[in-house]
């Protein structure tokens, strides 16, 4: 858990200090007050670009000193990240006061989050679901990010080479890049498949309750024969890929298919409320997997999670969240959304200022 969080010139927060006293931390305030900014700051204490995926230069407070800082106490260790005024696009990470790569943050803190933007996950393009799937996979298999990065690098190099076909292709170079895509792509596909299998097994153990139970599957492009090695498919599809300007087969084309088990219906065809319930079920199941693997549950960041839920479902959600053993940070526009939640650190956010409720 985070026992202390400080923000300096981050978004609209000039200087904020939060000292949680309970497993639940509730942030309330009007839209635009800075509640989500606090969750985003916490999300940057893990590898990656945070829950908004924004550029670092956008995060420093307007009118501030330039750069920003985020620091937290986690199990007695101070971890922090931020930027310097003269290097707004370069991320700095320190653990225990010592400079470290951003990947080292994963050794100290595991985070999962849910934002209103993710309510559209099942309706948007497959790319969003792949990013969601890879974030879930990375939380349990840190090496997944390295394999995915190497696959993307080889694919970009191949795309560039195919675009230069007027000068003739270097067959040996193309073959080497396709072999790299095959090697790293196979690792990416295997990690995703393992995550889906483990998550489905965990979800099958959970009672249905007021939240729909999902089932997950991986779906490749229609007509693609995945029993054929990727390098062979890429070699056979060079002219097609050159015309398209991109590789038309491989793990970067896979989609995450989610089904509402009780209704036997694809998530994309479910109601908005059902889709949110499916997402919550996936998140809670994944949190349980992380807790079992790491020996400690992840920190959960839930933005506007109680909105549009009736009182009964809200109480059921709070009970499910308490059962995870996680520290849970939640935002909402009204304190009444969290009625029934007894032990919680309740904070009011107003124009970048954070105060204790009551």
What does 65-131 look like in DSSP terms, one character per residue? Answer: SSSEEEEEEETTEEEEEEEETTEEEEEEEEETTEE--GGGGGGT--EEEE-GGGGGTTTS-HHHHHH
Report if residue 192 sits inside a domain. no
State both tokens at 265: 């219906």
User: What pLDDT does 167 receive?
Assistant: 66
Report if residue 18 sits inside a domain. yes
Domain with 23, as residue range(s), is 1-110+296-358
Q: H or E stretch including 239? A: helix 238-244
DSSP state of 341: -
Report if residue 191 sits inside a domain. no
Main-chain phi, psi angles of 27, to 5 degrees = -115, 120
Question: Are residues 158 and 178 in contact, defined by beta-carbon separation less than 8 angstroms?
Answer: yes
State both tokens at 209: 């309750």
Report if residue 181 sits inside a domain. no
Question: Are residues 265 and 259 in contact, defined by beta-carbon separation less than 8 angstroms?
Answer: yes
Report if residue 314 sits inside a domain. yes
User: What pLDDT does 65 receive?
Assistant: 87
Report if residue 193 sits inside a domain. no
pTM: 0.87
Mean pLDDT (10-residue bins), the chain, 358 residues: 96 96 96 96 93 93 92 96 95 96 90 90 92 92 91 96 79 95 97 97 82 91 86 94 94 96 94 88 93 92 88 88 94 92 94 87
Report if residue 70 sits inside a domain. yes
User: What pLDDT does 248 receive?
Assistant: 95
DSSP assignment string, 258-310: EEETTTTEEGGGS-HHHHHHHHHHHHHHHHHHHHHHHSSPPEEEETTTTTT--
Question: Are residues 57 and 76 in contact, defined by beta-carbon separation less than 8 angstroms?
Answer: no
Taking Cα atoms as reference points, which of 30, 58, 45, 15 lies closest to residue 349? Answer: 30
Residue for token digits 């084309």? 253
Report if residue 340 sits inside a domain. yes
What CATH number does residue 96 fall under? 3.40.50.300
User: What pLDDT does 11 receive?
Assistant: 96
State both tokens at 61: 């407070």
Domain count, the chain: 1
User: What pLDDT does 358 receive?
Assistant: 64
């Amino acid at each position: 858990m985070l026992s202390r969080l400080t923000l300096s010139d981050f978004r609209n927060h000039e200087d904020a200090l939060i000292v949680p006293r309970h497993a639940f931390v509730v942030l309330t305030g009007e839209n635009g007050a800075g509640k989500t900014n606090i969750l985003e700051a916490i999300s940057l204490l893990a590898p990656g670009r945070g829950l908004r995926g924004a550029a670092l230069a956008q995060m420093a407070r307007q009118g501030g000193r330039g750069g920003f800082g985020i620091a937290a106490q986690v199990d007695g260790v101070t971890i922090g990240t931020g930027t310097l005024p003269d290097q707004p696009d370069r991320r700095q990470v320190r653990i225990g006061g010592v400079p470290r790569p951003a990947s080292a943050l994963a050794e100290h803190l595991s985070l999962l989050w849910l934002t209103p933007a993710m309510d559209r996950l099942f309706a948007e393009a497959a790319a969003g679901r792949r990013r969601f799937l890879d974030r879930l996979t990375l939380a349990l298999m840190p090496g997944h990010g390295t394999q995915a990065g190497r696959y993307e690098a080889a694919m970009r190099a191949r795309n560039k080479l195919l675009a230069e076909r007027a000068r003739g292709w270097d067959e040996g170079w193309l073959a080497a890049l396709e072999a790299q895509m095959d090697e790293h792509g196979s690792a990416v596909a295997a990690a995703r498949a393992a995550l889906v299998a483990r998550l489905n097994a965990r979800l099958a153990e959970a009672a249905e309750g007021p939240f729909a139970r999902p089932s997950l599957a991986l779906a490749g492009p229609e007509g693609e024969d995945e029993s054929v090695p990727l390098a062979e498919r890429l070699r056979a599809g060079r002219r097609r890929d050159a015309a398209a300007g991109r590789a038309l087969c491989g793990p970067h084309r896979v989609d995450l298919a989610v089904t509402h088990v009780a209704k036997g219906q694809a998530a994309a065809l479910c109601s908005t409320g059902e889709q949110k319930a499916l997402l919550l079920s996936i998140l809670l199941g994944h949190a349980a997997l992380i807790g079992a693997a790491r020996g400690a549950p992840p920190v959960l960041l839930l933005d506007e999670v109680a909105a549009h839920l009736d009182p009964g479902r809200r109480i059921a959600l709070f009970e499910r969240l308490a059962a995870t053993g996680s520290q849970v940070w939640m935002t909402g526009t009204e304190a009444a959304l969290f009625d029934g939640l007894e032990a919680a650190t309740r904070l009011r956010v107003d124009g970048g200022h954070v105060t204790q409720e009551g």
